[in-house]
Structure 1
Amino acid sequence: MKRQSELSFSLSQMERAVEILDEMLLAGTCPNEHRYTTIMHGYASLGDTGKAFEYFSKLKNEGLEFDVSTYEALLKACCKAGRMQSALAVIKEMSAQKIPRNTFVYNILIDGWARRGDVWEAADLMQQMKQEGVQPDIHTYTSFINACCKAGDVLRATKTMEEMELVRVKPNVKTYTTLIHGWARASLPEKALRCFEQMKSAGLKPDKAVYHCLMTSLLSRACVVEEYIYSGILHICKIGLCSWDGDDEAADSMCRSCFFFMIGCVIVSRSSPMPL
């Protein structure tokens, strides 16, 4: 079962939730801290810091108790909106209230800094986690790898993968995809392909995002004519090797057949075989 901080809500769902909350108040039923916190998490998932803090104020003004989950909602709202200084202010208040930071709090913060590509802040949080005895999980490591890749420090991202193996945290599809994107951004398709092979060896199934990333990376290093590659991909789609429905635009969608055709183009274009 997902924690509240991991849930996502649509705007229509939030509007309905607020309507129910208002109906409760009109009926003379006072919402408890759990209901307010749920509303806060809903607005946090939308990145609406104003509403998240508004309901936090209501919770406090009514004298209700709040816990780490309440602060998780505020942090999620701040980080999703890119307001990292506000997130730090929330952390300061948590310390004043003597509410300890757990793995979920650190995950939200590390992900927030990762979105900005600030690997130094993310690394500092990783260090704080270890000092406080808080165990990083798969989400922690994946967010940190994302921060490394966005900062162009793919070697640190690779070392983080090695650390995961040591502490027996298995990378998932998102972890590998993040690292593949990192190698692709660094214009090192060979490294991206090696990571891709490791992903498959681990029994994980790549999705379209992975194939799209690899094809884009390979294109950046290919020495063959771009029109030739495009016509080849279009041909693969038209002869039915992927889900092409007759629309030329739909034929641009990535599939396994197109991907392996691309690898063939790049290998042919090189004087030596591509190392995998």
Structure 2
Amino acid sequence: MSENGCSPDIWTYNLVINGLCKMGCVSDANNLVNDAIAKGYVPDVFTFNTLIDGYCKQLKMETTIQILNKMWSHGVTPDVITYNSVLNGLCKAVKNEDLMETFKLMVEKGCVPNKITYNILTESLLISGFANNGDLKGAYQLFRRMGEQYKVSHTTATYNIMINAFSEKLDLYTAEKLFHEMGAEGCAPDTYTYRVMIDGFLHNRKHRFWIQHRVHEAVDIIHLMVHNGIVPEVVNTISDSDKKVVAAPKIVVEDLLKRSCITYYAYELLYDGIRDKKTQKQKLPNRH
């Protein structure tokens, strides 16, 4: 690099290291970092982040952790990008214990987690992993601890994972609690959230009586979707506001069936439930 009398600096090294990592030549990039150090050039956080990201993409996590420790030994403080790369790599390599240890180290060292950190911990591995293995209690405790202890805001995707897990286990009390909590935290439910809640109320193949008993609650979710504007585009083409109010819930149910989000049996129950709710409203005495 200095044949023409031009001495490289760490910025020059970083460009080459970045290029090697993008080509997948991470070992060569690591050798170049060692060469730079041997020649007296001090790597910066970008140097190490590039190298760590390269090793993480190849899931070579033992080497990644070694480089993370190497940063400290050279007086370079890992930032949130560093830790997110390591956590994401550990996530994909399904190294749960190492992931939590690294996260604890991150917090202890004063590096503040961001939403990307939180999403990696919850959506990609821990909460979905706990839920899939049936450890909903562990998932719920982790969910609470992340919010209360580490003060990181929950995302809609994270809530969806939790609500879906509890809904599938027919723990609708907790599912509903999380659903209503979303709004209080300013985290808006999306179409998937509503679908999971409706499915939770109606999805029990063994007990049809139980399903019929919960129809009114599923219908309430349909009306909430309408109220919050989570409706098919065709609803917005109805110019008459009175007709829109009547038609919107039915259109939502038809759309859910069309997209195979609910069974035909559930569709019939919901459609009848919407009609019954309308009838009940009409029977209410006029207080004026």
Q: TM-score, normalised by structure 1?
A: 0.55
- One-letter code aligned to 1:274: D
Q: Quote the Cα distance in structure 2 between the aligned partners of 1:18 and 1:41.
A: 11
Distance 1:89 1:139, change over 3 A: same
Matched with 1:257 is none
**203, 206, 217: which is aligned to 2:229?**
203
Whether the 8 Å contact between 2:257 and 2:263 is mirrored in structure 1 is no
Gaps of at least 5 residues in structure 2 are: 1-19, 38-42, 206-210, 233-254, 275-288
Are residue 33 (structure 1) and residue 45 (structure 2) matched? yes
Matched with 1:113 is 126
Q: Which moved more, 1:155-164 or 1:55-64?
A: 55-64
Find the residue that maps to 1:72 and give its secondary structure.
helix
Matched with 1:246 is none
Matched with 1:234 is none
Matched with 1:164 is 182
Matched with 1:73 is 85
Measured against aligned partners, the alpha-carbon deviations of 1:31-79 in whole angstroms (never above 9, x if no partner) come to: 75336435655776x7x6x324533423433534312332222333333
Q: Quote the Cα distance in structure 1 between the aligned partners of 2:222 and 2:51.
A: 40
Q: Quote the Cα distance in structure 2 between the aligned partners of 1:214 and 1:192.
A: 17
- One-letter code aligned to 1:142: N
Q: Quote the Cα distance in structure 1 between the aligned partners of 2:162 and 2:204.
A: 17
Q: Which moved more, 1:117-126 or 1:135-144?
A: 135-144
Q: Quote the Cα distance in structure 2 between the aligned partners of 1:56 and 1:200.
A: 50
Q: Quote the Cα distance in structure 2 between the aligned partners of 1:39 and 1:192.
A: 51
- Structure 1 stretches of 4+ moved >6 Å: 27-31
- One-letter code aligned to 2:272: M
* CA-based RMSD: 4.4
More relative contact order, 1 or 2 (CA 8 Å, 6+ apart): 1
User: How many aligned positions are there?
Assistant: 212
Distance 1:273 1:102, change over 3 A: closer
- Structure showing greater radius of gyration is 2
Gaps of at least 5 residues in structure 1 are: 1-13, 223-262
Find the residue that maps to 2:138 and give its secondary structure.
helix
Q: Quote the Cα distance in structure 1 between the aligned partners of 2:21 and 2:85.
A: 18
- One-letter code aligned to 1:115: S
Are residue 176 (structure 1) and residue 180 (structure 2) matched? no
Matched with 2:279 is none
Identity %: 23
